[in-house]
Structure 1
Amino acid sequence: MLRFMPVGDSMTIGSAGEHTWRYRLWRHLCGAYGGPFTFVGPRETLYDKSAEAPVSYAYADPDFPRAHLAGWGEGWQHMVPLIEGAVREHRADVLLVSLGLIDLGFYTNADQTADNVRAFVSRARAARRTVRMVIMPVAPNVRARQDAPFAAQVTRFNDLLAKTVIDLDEPSSPLLLATPSPSYDIDFDTYDGTHPNASGEHRIAAAFAEAMWREWGLGGPYAEA
């Protein structure tokens, strides 16, 4: 059985009442992947905004493998000390990673964040030498639209991330850089300029799915369902 682990921040954990892109990708893989698979990780909840804590199980559709390693307000620097244990315990085969916005917004600059990407990859491989990873660049967001210095850091990080993925790619433990949809629009694909609505969830899921299909022949072309 192929074991996927979604790793991310608020856009990955999602909040109460949402489907999440994790659900959208699961639905896609149910139709496109020919073998058994599941999602794994040490967490299952959504973020509850009223409680200001990840304590909700109120998925729009809870009938899917909800496990993940994602947290509201967490970034690369938060996941570095967690990923080795999570990969080892849950025997993850493929990491689906969407991180960076929180780091650049509150904790580290682009170069420091890229260093944390390298540490993350190293620790994941320490747990499972053949683990594969698909990594998402930082998506367009409202802060980057309004804050030019922040936008410059996002651009620099995404450039560094692309180079890092190339540098660290190995045949036994391949890394892929997902390509966000060029039509991703924060006015239509998010509900607040950052967090995905239903169409945004599909676009994020599609970026992961298309990367795996294009480079590894895993699954198939993404179609909204």
Structure 2
Amino acid sequence: MLRFMPVGDSMTIGSAGEHTWRYRLWQHLSRSHGGPCTLVGPRETLYDKRAEAPESYAYAEPDFPRAHLAGWGEGWLHMAPLIGEAVRSCRADILLVSLGLIDLGFYTNAEQTADNVRAFVAEARAANRRVRMVWLPVIPNVRAETDPPFATEVARFNELLAKTAADLDEPGSPILLASLPSSYAVHTDTYDGTHPSASGEHKIAAAFAEAMYQAWDLAGPYEG
């Protein structure tokens, strides 16, 4: 059984009524992967905007493995201390990570965020020396259109993320850097300039799927 753990922020946990890109990727894996697989993690809920808390189970389609390690307003800073126990307890084989927008927007600059990426990797590997990872670069949101310093930090972090992936990649514990989702546009692939709409969910899922297919021949090309 191959065990995938989605790790992310509000774009990954999703909110009440949504499918989430986790669901879209699961649909792809369940069709294309030749062996048993599942999604794992210590959490299952969506974020409830009315309650301002991650307590909703109101998925648009609830019939899939809903487990994850994602949180509204959480970034590399928050996940680095949690990932070791999550990998250990959930026996994760592959981490699908989409983090960084929150860090750069509210907590840390590009260099500090990259340091937290390294801490995350160390903790994950301490829990499973053969864990594999796929990292999604930060997708610039609508703020980047009107806040040049923020846009610069996002671009700088994505450069550092690529360098960190290359530096820390190991044959026994590989790290893939996915490509930014093809043709992703904040005004058509999100519902508020940040969080993915249905088309955005498919494009994020495709970015992870294509990286794993091209590098590891895992599953097949993403068909949506």
Map 1:156-195 → 2, pairs under 5 A? 156-195=156-195
Corresponding position of 1:74: 74
Corresponding position of 2:106: 106
SS in 2 for 1:43: coil
Structure 2 residues without counterparts, runs of 5 or longer:
none
1:77-130 CA deviation, whole Å, 9 max, x = no partner?
000110000000000000000000000000000000000000000100000000
Cα offset for 1:180?
1.7
Once residues 166 and 80 of structure 1 are traced to their aligned partners in structure 2, the CA distance between those partners, rounded to angstroms, is 19
Q: Matched residue pairs, number?
A: 224
Identity across aligned pairs (percent)? 76
Q: Give 1:2's aligned amino acid.
A: L
1:160-181 CA deviation, whole Å, 9 max, x = no partner?
0000000000000000001022
Once residues 31 and 124 of structure 2 are traced to their aligned partners in structure 1, the CA distance between those partners, rounded to angstroms, is 29
> Contact between 2:83 and 2:123, CA under 8 Å: does it hold in 1?
yes
Structure 1 residues without counterparts, runs of 5 or longer:
none
Once residues 39 and 144 of structure 1 are traced to their aligned partners in structure 2, the CA distance between those partners, rounded to angstroms, is 32
Q: Is residue 2:50 matched to residue 1:43?
A: no
Cα offset for 1:140?
2.3
Cα offset for 1:146?
1.1
> Contact between 2:9 and 2:72, CA under 8 Å: does it hold in 1?
yes
Once residues 22 and 154 of structure 2 are traced to their aligned partners in structure 1, the CA distance between those partners, rounded to angstroms, is 24
Once residues 181 and 55 of structure 1 are traced to their aligned partners in structure 2, the CA distance between those partners, rounded to angstroms, is 29
Corresponding position of 1:223: 223
Q: Give 1:13's aligned amino acid.
A: I
**Scaled by the length of structure 1, what TM-score is found?**
0.99
Corresponding position of 2:91: 91
Q: Give 1:50's aligned amino acid.
A: R
RMSD over aligned CA atoms reads: 0.5
Q: Give 1:11's aligned amino acid.
A: M
Q: Which aligned runs of 4 or more in structure 1 are off by greater than 4 angstroms?
A: none
SS in 1 for 2:85: helix
Once residues 143 and 221 of structure 1 are traced to their aligned partners in structure 2, the CA distance between those partners, rounded to angstroms, is 32
Q: Give 2:30's aligned amino acid.
A: C
Map 1:112-127 → 2, pairs under 5 A? 112-127=112-127
**Scaled by the length of structure 2, what TM-score is found?**
0.99
> Contact between 2:140 and 2:151, CA under 8 Å: does it hold in 1?
no
